[in-house]
Amino acid sequence: MTEARPKSPPVLASLMIVIGALCTIFGLALMAGLGADWHPLLATDGAGIVMLVSGIALAGSGAFPLVFARLAAGDDTQ
């Protein structure tokens, strides 16, 4: 019996990578000092680095299912 393989990449993994990129951009903006006008908590020293690290973690977590899907698609052994 053959196992059905998905033909499209996992949507949630791609969404996590996009959200991670947005968090990273937002973190860089906060580190540049743009968050001081938005909210007092965004003006603190650690707010930018927290968003930057969160963005990198989200993108890394989203990359795992994409890598596994690519490895499964290339696996021809039965």
Handedness of CA 12, 14, 20, 25 (dihedral sign): negative
User: How sure is the predictor about 59, in pLDDT bands with cuts at 50, 70 and 90?
Assistant: very high
pTM of the shown model: 0.75
- For residue 74, name the pLDDT band (cuts at 50, 70, 90): confident
Note the pLDDT of residue 60.
93
What is the arithmetic mean of pLDDT over 3-10? 65
User: Residue 9 pLDDT more than 90?
Assistant: no
Q: What are phi and psi of 50, to 5 degrees?
A: -65, -45
Rounded Cα distance between 12 and 58, Å, is 11
Across 42-46, average pLDDT: 84
Domain ranges of the chain: 11-73
Residue 66 contacts residue 14 (beta carbons within 8 Å): yes
User: What is the secondary structure of 30-51 as a DSSP string?
Assistant: HHTTGGGGT-GGGGSHHHHHHH
Token digits for 66?
């994409």
